[in-house]
Structures are given as C-alpha cells and as structure tokens.
Structure 1
Amino acid sequence: MDVRRFRQGRSGVAAGYSKWHVPGLRVVVLVDRDDDDCKRLKKRLEAMCKAAGLKSKSASPSAFTVATCIAIEELEAWFFGDIPALTAAYPGVPSTLAAQAPYRDPEKISGGTWEALERVLQRVGYFSGGLAKIAAARAIAAHMDVDRNRSPSFRHFVQTMRAL
C-alpha cells in the first residue's frame, strides 16, 4: 500500500493516476468535508474521477479504480467516534465523554472537531501551546478499534478499505 498526501483541489492528481497501467490499481481519496456541502463535494470528487477516465466505486462498485471518502466534518471527528482510544492515548480524558451532549454524535460536534479535540485535551493538561494534530492523530490511531468507532463516515471508510 502506498499512502500519499495531496492538498484538496489538486484535480490533476486523478489525471496522473489515470496514466498508470497497474493491474488491480486502487486509489482511495479521503478529504475532510470541512464546511462544504457533502453531496456537492462528493459530486465534485466523482466528476474529477470521471474526467480523468477513472471508474469510481460509486459509479462501478465491482470494477472500480478510485474510491472517494469524506471525513465528516473533519478527520478529528473520527477520534471522537472512539472515546476508548482517546482515553487510552490521553489518560485524564473522561471515559464518559461520549455521553456528554456535545460529543454524542461525533459528526455533529459544533465549532470544529479539531478545535473541540484541542479543548478536551487542554482541559486535562495536554497541548497547552496548541494541538499538535499529527502527534495527536498518531497517538489516538494507535488505540483505535475499527469495529468500535461510532462515526458513520469512519465506518464508511473502513467498509471502503475492506472492499479493496
């Protein structure tokens, strides 16, 4: 598996993959929804695939090259979907966090999920100088259980990865 980071809006990337002639090639595109309309963003991603001559999983579930996935609202929502992973990575975070109203639905956390993650971690003594997103992601991901996560967009991503 080859993992690469690209900035959103790099439509030329899809065209680049269309020139690869690798049997069984699968590309997974993962983007944060941020403030975008989810359906419009999905259509835009699918249109980029089509314009590049790539079959998407949505258009051709059995014979696809590209699967597009959207983290709602942001990737950090996935961490709120697995509170045991969050508490294992950062002792002091309350294990009852998921029962608290603002965190019951990880994809409906208001005010930005990375900002909410920063606030939660700062309250218990971590990242006083600001959230180190990559360090936090690595620490939490090490404890995540893909079958336990409550985030619908994370579960969709896992299903997509398993379909590869």
Structure 2
Amino acid sequence: MLEILLEEPSAELLIQTLAPVIVPGVQEGKDFETRVFQGKDALLRKLPQRLAGYGSWAEMGNVRILVLVDRDDDNCMELKKRMVEIVQKIKGLHYHSGVKSGVGGSVKISIACEEIEAWMIGDPDALRLAYPKLPKAFERKAAFRNPDDIKGGTWEKLEKLLQDNGYFAGGLRKRELARMVGGFMDPDRNSSESFGHFCRALRSLM
C-alpha cells in the first residue's frame, strides 16, 4: 500500500482522480491511500511524527510514502532538502531516489511548482473540456507558457482566466476545479515539469 500525504482537500480530489490514469489499474483503498493535512504548514510540522509512525513498522511491511507539497514562495531545492533531511532521521525509512522502488520504507518527495493549479494549466485541453468558454490558445500567452513559473500566484492567475471567461464569479472553488479538470487530464501531454516529476515518483513507488 502506498500512502500519499497531501496538504489540502483539492489536491486529494485531483490525486484520487489522476492516480489510476498515471498508473493504470491501481485502485484507491487497495493500492493507495491519501492522507490530508490542514495546509502545508501543518503537513511539515507533523511530518516527522507521521513518518516515525510509518518507520516503526516499516520492517514488517512494504511501506511506501509519497509526500506532495506546493512550493509556494519557498526555494524548491531548499524545501526538498529540508524534507529529505526529515526522512533521513527516521529509523526504518530511507529516501528513495532511484528509478524503481526498493524494499519497505521507501519515501519520495514531490513539489508542485509553484502550486498544484500549475498542473491543470499544464493541460490546457483538459481545462477547455471542463470549461468550454476558455480561449483556444490561452496557453500561448507569455503568462501561461511555463505553468511552473507563473508569477504572482498560480491559482490567482487561473481564477482570473476563468472569471474573465464567465466562470467562478464568486471566487475560485478549488475542490470543484480539481474534480472537474482532473477527469480530463492526460499525464502524457502535460507541460508542467513538476507534474512529470510527480508522475515518475508515483509510478516508481507503485
């Protein structure tokens, strides 16, 4: 069983939808479980204790953990280094950096740059299928060309794009967005590099 640790409910909805697409045949509850924290700060604060719990019985089972957080305003390399150091301090666990998953106790870190909404922007066809009034070529504009490097807040830019085209007049509802767009996303056409890293991490642990 793979445990996927997430920082918010919208990420959970997206991953629950996408995991069986990224790794065909896997099922929630049978092959993976999602665990949601109350935001990034709560996840990072509770991560040592949570991992210690996994480590205490890692030798008795095939423990695999994938931790997903948004980069937000953090330096990506420094954030990952800090999280890997947490893993390395836990008895029974090891940070897995190879192509294939090792024996029990494997942990991987995945960071969405800058926020998980970048993964949706990386698949403009999925966004248009979910919200047909979006322009045909919005992704060619400089503001959206590199979804992992959008300035000024990824979800705010996506919210404005959707509002400008007649959606979410009362504000972006992130869980609804994840549910609507996730069902149309194709991992093989996504232009977000951080999403590609997540897909490879998930496949290697599965």
| TM-score band w.r.t. shorter chain | over 0.9
In the other structure, the counterpart of 1:120 is 161
Matched, 1:100 2:173: no
Deviation larger for 50-59 or 36-45 = 50-59
* SS of residue matched to 1:134: helix
Q: Distance in 2 between matches of 1:38 and 1:108?
A: 12
Percent identity over paired residues: 45
What do residues 53-111 of structure 1 show as CA deviations (whole Å, max 9, x unaligned)? 21111389652611110000000011110000011111111120111110000011111
What do residues 3-61 of structure 1 show as CA deviations (whole Å, max 9, x unaligned)? 11123322222112212335222110000000001111001110111112211113896
Matches within 5 A, 1:56-71: 56-58=95-97, 62-63=101-102, 65-71=106-112
Q: Distance in 1 between matches of 2:50 and 2:167?
A: 37
8 Å Cα contact 2:100-2:204 kept in structure 1: no
**TM-score between both structures, scaled by the size of structure 2:** 0.75
In the other structure, the counterpart of 1:48 is 86
In the other structure, the counterpart of 1:8 is 43
Matched, 1:129 2:170: yes
Q: Distance in 2 between matches of 1:71 and 1:41?
A: 11
8 Å Cα contact 2:96-2:108 kept in structure 1: yes
Q: Summarize the Cα distance change of 1:65–1:73 in structure 2 as closer, same or farther, 3 Å threshold.
A: same
* SS of residue matched to 2:111: strand
In the other structure, the counterpart of 1:73 is 114
Aligned residue among 39, 55, 70 for 1:18: 55
Greater RCO (CA < 8 Å, at least 6 residues apart): 2
Q: Distance in 1 between matches of 2:146 and 2:99?
A: 31
Deviation larger for 68-77 or 20-29 = 20-29
Structure 2 residues without counterparts, runs of 5 or longer: 1-31
Q: Which runs of 4+ in 1 moved over 6 A?
A: none
* SS of residue matched to 1:3: strand
Structure 1 residues without counterparts, runs of 5 or longer: none
Say how many residue pairs are matched. Answer: 164
8 Å Cα contact 2:114-2:154 kept in structure 1: yes
* SS of residue matched to 1:102: coil
8 Å Cα contact 2:144-2:150 kept in structure 1: yes
- Which letter maps to 2:130? A
Q: Distance in 2 between matches of 1:72 and 1:93?
A: 23
**TM-score between both structures, scaled by the size of structure 1:** 0.94
* SS of residue matched to 1:52: coil
In the other structure, the counterpart of 1:27 is 65
Aligned residue among 173, 177, 183 for 1:142: 183
